[in-house]
Chain A
Amino acid sequence: MNAATATLAGLYYDGRRPIGAPTTLVLAGKGAVLIGAQISQRLATVELRVSPRIGRADRFIDLPRGGQFQCADHPLLDRLPQEVRTEGVVAWLEQRVAVAIASVAVILSLLSAGYFYGLPAAANYIAMRIPIETEDAVGRRSLAWLDENKWFRPSQIAPDMQARIRQGFDELRDGLPQASRCRLEFRDSPVIGPNAFALPGGTIVITDAMVQTAESPEEVLAVLAHELGHVERRHAMRHVLQDSAAAVTAAAVTSDAASLGVAVAGLPAVLAQTKYSREFETEADDFAFQLLRRRGLSPEAFATLMERLTRKQQDAERAFAFVSSHPVTAERIRRAREAAKR
């Protein structure tokens, strides 16, 4: 330590009463002297502990016998022993405007890289390594819950029709990696309307209204191919992984806004979830178009069914219709036609 000297005016607190006594601290090399009305003390600088710099706030120096000295920030204080060593670096970074701008740039690029690429890729990597059997219990319970709570009723579709669809479904899934896990269920649901779902674990449910809306077996198979895409691409697992990771990241990033009671703090997580479920739909569509073509069927059936569903929805305005849970319908119809031409 060099022989820098400084005279700091401040307040002395004895630790017994919250009353400050005007005091002066004189730093000279390795020694220091505290001079005030209450106290006069000779100290060695190694005995002192200085609180971390934060903004322009006053700093505190802990003295050997339990006393404390408060004074305005001074460059010389950084040369004294610090209460917390590691915070000096962060405090140094925090003082620089350029560092703050660079930080914002890093934050924005990290978040967008994670949002557009990193998170989906990581979730895909992990999901493909978790056996689909782990989802069985969840899927079975969801179906039981939907049955018990009257969302679903037993299907009214004629048995021979069901058998025909099942046969087509079996041909469709034949040879797919998760073929043995895929199971088809028919249900009637006036509340839900024309729709089909892939539940976790590989159970695919198609509603009677959807079967009735379809005007040909190819159209039913087109919908089932889309649902098979959800199963094969492990969307249920990826959904859980991506949504929870996005929610945790968003919570970390918006913790300050959330502490203000600002409702918009929840927005990033919602946006991410919406984006990811759209991506899953597109992926399942692409999977379906390829699968249909491999089986000698045309994706055109998908387009015609979607068009009919859209018209029906405009007539009926059902809240849970297939079309509203599957956004940007016009775009999907266009892609299906494109795939059919190839």
Chain B
Amino acid sequence: MALAFRGSAREYFRIWAVNLCLTLLTCGIFSAWAKVRKKRYFYSHVTLDGTPFQYLAQPIPILKGRIVAAVLFSVYYASGHFFTALMPYVLVAGMVLAPWVIVRSAAFNARYSAFRNMTFQFDGNYKEALKTIYWLGLIPALVVGSMFQWWGNIYAGSALFALFGFTFPWWLRRLKNFIVSRTAFGGEHGELSATGGQFFKVYFLAGLIMVVAGVIAGATGAALFASLKKSPYAFVLVSLPVYIGYVLAFAYVQAGISNLVWNRTRLGPLSFESTLRGRGLAGLYVTNALAILASVGLLTPWAVIRTLKYRADHLRVRQEGDLADFYGSETTAVRAAGAEVGEFFDMDLSL
């Protein structure tokens, strides 16, 4: 099945400009409407087998979600700066809330995404999310550790750092698996067969890229040691390999994890083939950044469109069975999506 992105930079520029202008004129209130317009544009210009996707969310739940997020952030900010005695309670409350936020926003996005008159569904619950993100208590340990400054002790600090570094890929696999296996379309749930070791490999190679960059930077630094003190340009020359290494490693991780998750995912009769390349993505990041910088932001819509096009061009959907395996129910009807708008907790917490 052919997947294509048909958005045009000119068209999206107009949408971007008009919606940003209205957002500024309304002191941000319109941003919820703007989000709907932009998402509608992206969804309806991605076509699978000729049919565009549909984004069905209404602005009011998004506005509600943004207000809630703003209040939560203000509480966090105020407790960090003015009422530090409250900070531990705020952190605990944040940890209790986080799984709920993840579940709600995943459910919101799935329910308001539709393809061929059928909506997606996300049926993960709070308890599962809690177990997934606080697996082995790693993140709580991290938060508590930073509160009591365990990092101060060099041995405890490096032991914790090593522990997190090595378990993170397995943690990420669990998180991705939670999202994929709880997402459903037409009664079929996603299945992720990627292993933690495969996630680890991606991060390990990205780490190697950083190490190589560090070694090159160190070598340049040693070679230029004499001139380093005199010229500020020598300093730029030494830090350049580190920047390049960072961008490459970042792009490599993005491409590697995307490819891994898509290629190991099955959804009913469908499988996916993602062929992103770290080098390609890195080139995209750098040229996007330069273009946005040089145009004082005016080329942002162009950068967004070409990035989406690049991503769509590197994703293929393979049909290995009958599409009739997907069978919709009352709850996946597009009409049902709108019916829940009145529900209080129906809000979009993803920003």
Residue positions of A touching B, CB distance < 8 A: 11, 13-20, 51-52, 54-58, 60, 62, 66-68, 70, 84, 86-87, 90, 93-97, 99-101, 103-104, 106-107, 110-111, 134, 137-138, 141, 240, 244, 248, 252-254, 256-257, 259-265, 267
Min Cβ gap A321→B in Å is 17
Q: Does B181 contact A (CB under 8 A)?
A: no
Q: Does B148 contact A (CB under 8 A)?
A: no
B44 partner, pick from A57, A137, A244, A263, beta carbons under 8 A: A57
B82 partner, pick from A67, A70, A138, A265, beta carbons under 8 A: A138
The digit string for B18-33, where 1 denotes a CB below 8 A from any CB of A, is 1111111100100101
B334 partner, pick from A55, A68, A260, beta carbons under 8 A: A68
Nearest residue in A to B116 (C-beta to C-beta)? A18
Q: Does B160 contact A (CB under 8 A)?
A: no
Q: Does B92 contact A (CB under 8 A)?
A: no
Residues of chain A contacted by B115 (CB below 8 angstroms):
18
15 A–B contacts, CB within 8 A, in A order:
A14-B117, A15-B118, A18-B185, A51-B54, A52-B40, A54-B37, A55-B7, A62-B335, A66-B117, A68-B116, A70-B51, A103-B17, A138-B81, A253-B24, A264-B292
Interface residue range, chain B:
35 or more
The 6 closest A-B pairs by CB, nearest first: A13-B117, A57-B44, A103-B21, A68-B117, A18-B116, A103-B17
The answer to whether A94 and B15 have CB atoms under 8 Å apart is yes
Binds A, one of B129-137, B213-221, B319-327: B319-327
Residues of chain B contacted by A13 (CB below 8 angstroms):
116-118
Residues of chain A contacted by B41 (CB below 8 angstroms):
54-55, 57
- Could you list 8 further interchain pairs (A-B, Cβ under 8 angstroms) beyond the known A263-B289, A264-B289? A13-B117, A18-B185, A55-B12, A62-B335, A68-B334, A254-B300, A260-B285, A264-B293
The answer to whether B13 and A15 have CB atoms under 8 Å apart is no
In whole angstroms, how far apart are the Cα atoms of A19 and B12 in the complex? 29
In whole angstroms, how far apart are the Cα atoms of A106 and B292 in the complex? 19
In whole angstroms, how far apart are the Cα atoms of A141 and B289 in the complex? 39
The digit string for B278-312, where 1 denotes a CB below 8 A from any CB of A, is 00000001001100110001101101100100000
The answer to whether B285 and A261 have CB atoms under 8 Å apart is yes
Residues of chain A contacted by B285 (CB below 8 angstroms):
260-262
Q: A58-B52, A252-B28, A262-B289 are in contact. Are A90 and B19 (CB under 8 A)?
A: yes
The answer to whether B45 and A55 have CB atoms under 8 Å apart is yes
Residue positions of B touching A, CB distance < 8 A: 6-8, 11-25, 28, 31, 33, 36-38, 40-41, 44-45, 50-52, 54, 58, 77, 81-82, 84, 115-118, 185-186, 250, 254, 285, 288-289, 292-293, 297-298, 300-301, 303-304, 307, 323-324, 326-328, 332-335
Residues of chain A contacted by B300 (CB below 8 angstroms):
254, 256-257
Nearest residue in B to A17 (C-beta to C-beta)? B324
The answer to whether A90 and B18 have CB atoms under 8 Å apart is yes
In whole angstroms, how far apart are the Cα atoms of A60 and B6 in the complex? 17
The answer to whether A16 and B328 have CB atoms under 8 Å apart is yes
The answer to whether B323 and A17 have CB atoms under 8 Å apart is yes
The answer to whether B17 and A260 have CB atoms under 8 Å apart is no
The answer to whether B37 and A262 have CB atoms under 8 Å apart is no
Considering residues B13, B297, B327, which has the most beta carbons from chain A within 10 angstroms of its beta carbon? B297
In whole angstroms, how far apart are the Cα atoms of A70 and B333 in the complex? 15
Residues of chain A contacted by B14 (CB below 8 angstroms):
94-97, 99-100
The answer to whether A107 and B40 have CB atoms under 8 Å apart is no
Q: A17-B324, A17-B328 are in contact. Are A252 and B289 (CB under 8 A)?
A: no
The answer to whether A257 and B297 have CB atoms under 8 Å apart is yes
In whole angstroms, how far apart are the Cα atoms of A111 and B324 in the complex? 52
The answer to whether B323 and A103 have CB atoms under 8 Å apart is no
Residues of chain A contacted by B324 (CB below 8 angstroms):
17, 19
In whole angstroms, how far apart are the Cα atoms of A255 and B106 in the complex? 20
Min Cβ gap A246→B in Å is 14
B254 partner, pick from A55, A261, A262, beta carbons under 8 A: A261
Residues of chain A contacted by B185 (CB below 8 angstroms):
18
The answer to whether A107 and B21 have CB atoms under 8 Å apart is yes
Residues of chain B contacted by A62 (CB below 8 angstroms):
334-335
Min Cβ gap A211→B in Å is 30
Nearest residue in B to A58 (C-beta to C-beta)? B52
Nearest residue in B to A134 (C-beta to C-beta)? B82
A67 partner, pick from B18, B31, B45, B117, beta carbons under 8 A: B117
The answer to whether B25 and A106 have CB atoms under 8 Å apart is yes
The answer to whether A54 and B40 have CB atoms under 8 Å apart is yes
Q: A55-B15, A254-B297, A263-B289 are in contact. Are A66 and B333 (CB under 8 A)?
A: yes
Min Cβ gap A10→B in Å is 10
The answer to whether B116 and A19 have CB atoms under 8 Å apart is yes
Min Cβ gap B256→A in Å is 15
Residues of chain B contacted by A58 (CB below 8 angstroms):
44, 51-52
Min Cβ gap A79→B in Å is 21
Min Cβ gap A180→B in Å is 22
Q: A20-B51, A68-B334, A90-B33 are in contact. Are A15 and B328 (CB under 8 A)?
A: yes
Nearest residue in B to A317 (C-beta to C-beta)? B229
Min Cβ gap B249→A in Å is 13
The answer to whether B289 and A56 have CB atoms under 8 Å apart is no
The answer to whether B81 and A15 have CB atoms under 8 Å apart is no
A262 partner, pick from B11, B18, B292, B333, beta carbons under 8 A: B292
Residues of chain A contacted by B82 (CB below 8 angstroms):
134, 137-138
In whole angstroms, how far apart are the Cα atoms of A85 and B241 in the complex? 53
In whole angstroms, how far apart are the Cα atoms of A90 and B41 in the complex? 13
The answer to whether A253 and B117 have CB atoms under 8 Å apart is no
Nearest residue in B to A93 (C-beta to C-beta)? B18
Min Cβ gap B247→A in Å is 9
